[in-house]
Structure 1
Amino acid sequence: MSRKTRRFAGAAVAGACGLALAAPALAAPAPAASPSAAATAATVASSATPAKAATAKPGAAKAASPRNVDVQILSFNDLHGNLEPPTGSSGRIQVGPTSTETADAGGVEYLATHLKQARAGHRNTVTVAAGDMVGASPLLSAAFHDEPTVDSLNSLGLDITAVGNHEFDEGYKELQRLQKGGCIDDGDGANNQNSCPDGAFEGADFQYLAANVVEKSTGKTILPSYAIKNFGNGVRIGFIGMTLKDTANIVTASGVAGLEFKDEVQTANKLVPVLKAKGVNAIVVLIHQGGTPPSGTPYYYTCQGGGQLDATSPIIPIAQKLSPAIDMVVSGHTHQPYVCNIPDPSGRDRLVTSASSFGRLYTETNLKYDTQRNDIARTSVQGSNMVVTRVVPKDAAQTELINRFKALVTPIASRVLGQITTDIVRAQNAAGESPLGDMIADAQLADDSTVKDGKVPVVAFMNPGGVRADLVYNSQKYPGENPGDVTFEEAFTVQPFNNYLVSMDLTGQEIYDVLNQQVTGANAASNKILAVSDGFTYSWTKTGTPGVVDGSVAIDGVPVDKTATYRISTNNFLSDGGDGFAAFQGGDDKFFGGLDIDAFADYLEANSPYSPQPLDRITLVP
């Protein structure tokens, strides 16, 4: 379908208005069966369907079809804007039973080729995704607000994707822009980002779905809730797309202000009768929530032979409660590989898949569509995870896209900020402290953009999930770059979210509360130990009642007084209570400073050459 001709029939609204894609062979969407906001829909035509199929008499294509029609579903998840092949451990996938059996994988040039080869010979094929196509992206995409990734996904033939939490990194209005197109007036490269660097941006040809994301003020979904793929031969499959209900807790609050993230099971189950009223009995859920298989899992993990996902996997109770009318679940978020059957409420096996992350895998699912029942023959559904190897030819269109944006980003990416004397890693020690976490916290404390009315922060806190890569000593990429040089691209890879720094007043008790929330509540099962700046020290324990040792918290050796007030600095994600740190929300006199990546870049320039500091800020006691 042409990007020039694809346009929306209207805004994301509820009821009969819906959303439609104007494209050849596209039938107009039927009136919504329900006035609910959840009925917001999109209709997607098959590129394999001849144009005349749209004008055939009702039932004609179905009558000419065999009882069982072969259908192929290709799926992937959590691409995160990785256009080029991911490097290091992120660019490999385990392909055998042992951890040493790995293969290089990923890169959209190879993914596009693999998908084209997989589609060959399949008349009825659709390509879908389960969210986080963009966000936390490498600079090649992030420098242009992820417009290159949308263009890449258009080129490789993505049809439909659910939204993920990272689609909200720059706010839901920006997500809607990625769908519809248009440029941002961002100062032509201000803050190292540049929308539409070489012309217009026409948006996504594929359809974003957000069934469980509604505006509180209107109750309407921000994007369609479902899409119906019409293959034109009596085969119609409905896709419901949604993100995890906890998205608001793991993204910046300003990006989702005014939104409500509804329960995944309730949302999907309410849409089943809506789709059935349209004559669509075959239903697939695309959900940005997932599970975790056993450690060391190879890409082909299938839950067979007694295997199973970890019992704490969030996808398990969701899959167990989704309506039996739903035939398959494509999941994501956890970056794990699995193709498993999880019984539905009626006890029937139902396929649940996930294709790891960064475009290293895709899932091929083949099934039979029963044209008499207008439904998927559940026992026919067979899925396999496939490695995106780098031994196939590169897709020429993807290569051209990458090369074009590499040229556009080079002036930003290649600027050397400073030097390091050795690798600065993000791996935490037993107490939860890391060399790179310390460095980032120190950079945030040193940034004077958070100083308000002479009030200078005395400690900075950084969430470990926001540290996305190591700083590597031997990482020369650009001409003239020497060992130890740190370029803006490398710094951005470490901190890719463009969060703002925020200073605020916290009482000593609130500081204790923050530290205790590292290992309690939402973080009890998987502790999130914050990086802290130089001069701030404390001890904590896992035994008995996990938490901070009372009286151990100190600033420059002086114990923190629980009744006193201290000026602290953090990022806007934590300031809004992200990652389960609600105590930050109670901070007073909040003041927004500059971007975290700018603070990091300035610190590197001011402290070059930089060497890792001793890990003596956090102590774990028996």
Structure 2
Amino acid sequence: MPRNLRRLRPVVAVAAVALAAAAVATPVATASAKPGKHLVDVQLLSFNDFHGNLEAPSGSSGRLVTDHHIDPATGAPVDDTVDVGGVEYLASHLAEARKGHDRSLTVAAGDLIGASPLLSAAFHDEPSIEAMNQLGLDVTSVGNHEFDEGYKELQRIADGGCIDDGDGENNQNSCAAHEYAGADFDILAANVVEDATRKTILPSYAIKEVDGVKIGFIGMTLEGTPDIVTAEGIKGLSFKDEVKTANALVPKLKSKGVKAIVTLIHEGANLPKEKWTDPATGTVHEVNATYDYTCERGGELVPDSPIVPIAKNLDPEIDMLVTGHTHNPYVCDVPDPKGKSRLVTSASSFGRLYTETNLKYDLKKRDIVRSSVRGSNMLVTRDVAKAPAQTELINTYKELVTPIASRVLGTITADVTRTANASGESALGDLIADAQLADPSTVVNGEAPVIAFMNPGGIRADLTAANSPYGEAVGDVTYDEAFTVQPFNNFMVSLTMTGQDIYDLLTQQVTGANAGSHKILQVSEGFSYEISSSGPVEGSVMLNGEPIDKSASYRVVTNNFLQGGGDAFEAFTRGTDPYYGGLDIDAFSSYLESSSPYTPGALDRITGTH
């Protein structure tokens, strides 16, 4: 059980506020306004989807597109990229950006923790919250990943205290460096209600005051959070409509004298391809969009993006939206219900960007001058000095995590990647599914699963033979590398499904909520089928060479995210006799140890196109 679960903070009645969903009002350091000056400058710095990336992320996760050029060898356009991200650099950039701004606030839009690298996840993401404290975050909304370990754990993350977790016994260790003190910033969850009390699990809004400027922040996650997190993590909670929730809070804020309102919401937009003109030939190519293309340089949000109807229907009294979730960069105008311009921003992910928004605040009207609001996404380049406090924090936890992270599990003879073929199958997906099928923890009453299913979105990195973060031999796979592939700490679950359920499951990969963006489940050895644009080809679904019988029952294994219907795979919820085993990362680690050296095989489990 957590120790010191409710820490008293130096803000009046914060704990009571969290339960009653009232406002958190936190004055910050101020400078005096000049007498008679009614319009003053305010700076908002914002980011989202940090996901515990304390160290500079590597590979494509640590780059952004800045331009394009033609490859002379192929004649095709190629992305120009820059290495960005890392909390040491983010903190330095934010500190530099604040210079000359007497009225500055720093805010975020969720997923600051969860799906994190081992350096943060091994300590229940306490290091990431400490890093956010150091870089001066004032307020954030929750995101879906803040619920990865359940909402009680989220409340502990906010308020402080330690977990008695066996001192690293299960590769996690709370309060490893010191007593965890909690977040110095406000974490808001306006649309997350505990069913038993009908109160929000954390405050709904916060009011920040700086030198005569008073701004209210409403914080929410997406209403669809239950579809993309484990059912156990949100048991007993309801996730309310974003527009109705925020609009109902506007009069409450106005009654407290707050007319300037910003919504922090963990929902986002999809982006189009960029139409790039080759300066030498005038030929127009469709390319990956640069970080500032949408909407600063002509790009537009995809019209059916989830955030668009929300932005269009939020109360006109709300002055701007800071968004997230899709990991896309954009600074756009989505008019409010009265047709008035309103800024909507997102700063990519992993601390690679921050958004700087500058605006005028009318001290007489106590409101933001909407026409003055200007935002721009700024690269978190690595050509600045690292923030010393962040470096010290990283070094502390790197030393503490090394015994866990550096343990070699086994070897691979070649890279094992997430790259899918035309049918949607990947070598790494095959490896993980096989590991889940082999996991003995889900065998119950002597009955072992015969099919494993893995969601592709849960595979977060490749296994690269040449990667040697601890100086290990080429091909060696450490626990750190394995965890980076599967960072969610999901539980393995076995359950019984009918053959018809399995057909329906495979159909849901390309229909319904997944019709626009297909999600092809990775499957274990011995199971095969042919996929089409409407689902599995009739009669092609086979187990060990025999057709699946729709009226028969089969024991399958998956993670508890999918078992709860995550990613719109409703067919899993029809499964019976569920039995919970160990963690997915443990199954993966054990399989790597027992199957070493591992060589990826042919991608022949899924055929066809979709």
Offset at 1:200? Answer: 0.3
For residues 440 and 72 of structure 1, do their structure 2 counterparts lie closer, same or farther at Cα, with a shift above 3 Å needed? same
Residue of 209, 213, 217 corresponding to 1:230: 209
Contact 1:228/1:237, CA 8 A, preserved across alignment:
yes
- 1:608 maps onto 2:608 in alignment: no
Residue of 18, 33, 44 corresponding to 2:26: 44
Secondary structure of 1:245's match?
coil
Offset at 1:40? Answer: 2.1
In structure 1, how many angstroms separate the alpha carbons of the residues matched to 2:209 and 2:585? 45
Trace 1:272-311 onto structure 2 (pairs within 5 A).
Answer: 272-295=250-273, 296-303=288-295, 307-311=299-303
In structure 2, how many angstroms separate the alpha carbons of the residues matched to 1:71 and 1:485? 51
- 1:417 maps onto 2:417 in alignment: no
Contact 2:18/2:200, CA 8 A, preserved across alignment:
no
Trace 1:409-488 onto structure 2 (pairs within 5 A).
Answer: 409-479=401-471, 481-488=472-479
Contact 1:107/1:359, CA 8 A, preserved across alignment:
yes
Contact 2:111/2:143, CA 8 A, preserved across alignment:
yes
Contact 1:65/1:234, CA 8 A, preserved across alignment:
no
Per-residue CA deviations over 1:81-139 (Å, capped at 9, x if unaligned) read 00000001111111235652211100000000000000011110000000000000000
Give ranges in structure 1 of 5+ residues lacking alignment.
Answer: 21-36, 51-60
For residues 407 and 316 of structure 1, do their structure 2 counterparts lie closer, same or farther at Cα, with a shift above 3 Å needed? same
Partner of 2:606: 618
In structure 2, how many angstroms separate the alpha carbons of the residues matched to 1:100 and 1:463? 29
Residue of 547, 550, 554 corresponding to 1:559: 547
- What one-letter code is carried by the residue in structure 1 that aligns with 2:309? P
For residues 374 and 172 of structure 1, do their structure 2 counterparts lie closer, same or farther at Cα, with a shift above 3 Å needed? same
The TM-score normalised by the length of structure 1 is 0.91
In structure 2, how many angstroms separate the alpha carbons of the residues matched to 1:63 and 1:270? 35
Contact 1:97/1:297, CA 8 A, preserved across alignment:
no
Secondary structure of 1:380's match?
strand
In structure 2, how many angstroms separate the alpha carbons of the residues matched to 1:428 and 1:266? 40
- 1:161 maps onto 2:140 in alignment: yes
Trace 1:313-324 onto structure 2 (pairs within 5 A).
Answer: 313-324=305-316
Q: How many residues align?
A: 583
- What one-letter code is carried by the residue in structure 1 that aligns with 2:193? V
Offset at 1:68? Answer: 0.3
In structure 2, how many angstroms separate the alpha carbons of the residues matched to 1:342 and 1:301? 16
Contact 1:244/1:289, CA 8 A, preserved across alignment:
yes
Offset at 1:621? Answer: 5.1
In structure 2, how many angstroms separate the alpha carbons of the residues matched to 1:171 and 1:346? 39
Partner of 2:508: 517
- 1:170 maps onto 2:149 in alignment: yes
Partner of 2:56: 85
- What one-letter code is carried by the residue in structure 2 that aligns with 1:18? V
Offset at 1:427? Answer: 1.4
Offset at 1:496? Answer: 0.2
In structure 1, how many angstroms separate the alpha carbons of the residues matched to 2:507 and 2:200? 36
For residues 400 and 305 of structure 1, do their structure 2 counterparts lie closer, same or farther at Cα, with a shift above 3 Å needed? closer
- What one-letter code is carried by the residue in structure 2 that aligns with 1:43? A
Partner of 2:495: 504
Partner of 1:55: none
In structure 2, how many angstroms separate the alpha carbons of the residues matched to 1:588 and 1:19? 38
More strand by share: 2
Contact 2:227/2:567, CA 8 A, preserved across alignment:
yes
Contact 2:323/2:345, CA 8 A, preserved across alignment:
yes
Offset at 1:63? Answer: 9.0
Per-residue CA deviations over 1:435-480 (Å, capped at 9, x if unaligned) read 000000000000111000011100000000100000001001113x
Offset at 1:430? Answer: 1.0
- What one-letter code is carried by the residue in structure 1 that aligns with 2:26? V
In structure 2, how many angstroms separate the alpha carbons of the residues matched to 1:86 and 1:62? 41
Contact 1:94/1:297, CA 8 A, preserved across alignment:
yes
- 1:369 maps onto 2:361 in alignment: yes
In structure 2, how many angstroms separate the alpha carbons of the residues matched to 1:307 and 1:398? 35
Partner of 2:584: 596
Secondary structure of 1:353's match?
strand
For residues 509 and 5 of structure 1, do their structure 2 counterparts lie closer, same or farther at Cα, with a shift above 3 Å needed? closer
Partner of 2:520: 529
Partner of 1:54: none
- What one-letter code is carried by the residue in structure 2 that aligns with 1:145? H
Offset at 1:198? Answer: 2.1
- What one-letter code is carried by the residue in structure 2 that aligns with 1:565? S
Partner of 1:94: 65
- What one-letter code is carried by the residue in structure 1 that aligns with 2:540? S
- 1:247 maps onto 2:233 in alignment: no
Partner of 2:9: 6
Offset at 1:62? Answer: 8.0
Contact 2:296/2:376, CA 8 A, preserved across alignment:
no
Contact 1:65/1:371, CA 8 A, preserved across alignment:
no
In structure 2, how many angstroms separate the alpha carbons of the residues matched to 1:339 and 1:506? 46
Contact 2:8/2:159, CA 8 A, preserved across alignment:
no
Partner of 1:495: 486
Offset at 1:372? Answer: 1.2
Secondary structure of 2:530's match?
strand
Offset at 1:294? Answer: 1.8
Per-residue CA deviations over 1:249-282 (Å, capped at 9, x if unaligned) read 1000100001001011111111111101111000
Contact 1:456/1:567, CA 8 A, preserved across alignment:
yes
Residue of 345, 360, 369 corresponding to 1:353: 345
- What one-letter code is carried by the residue in structure 1 that aligns with 2:594? A
Per-residue CA deviations over 1:198-249 (Å, capped at 9, x if unaligned) read 2200000011000000011221000000000111x32100000000000011
Secondary structure of 2:592's match?
helix
- What one-letter code is carried by the residue in structure 1 that aligns with 2:384? V
Bigger shift: residues 368-377 or 99-108: 99-108
The TM-score normalised by the length of structure 2 is 0.93
In structure 2, how many angstroms separate the alpha carbons of the residues matched to 1:244 and 1:158? 21
Partner of 2:283: none
Offset at 1:344? Answer: 0.7
In structure 2, how many angstroms separate the alpha carbons of the residues matched to 1:63 and 1:373? 17
Contact 1:81/1:136, CA 8 A, preserved across alignment:
yes
Contact 1:426/1:469, CA 8 A, preserved across alignment:
yes
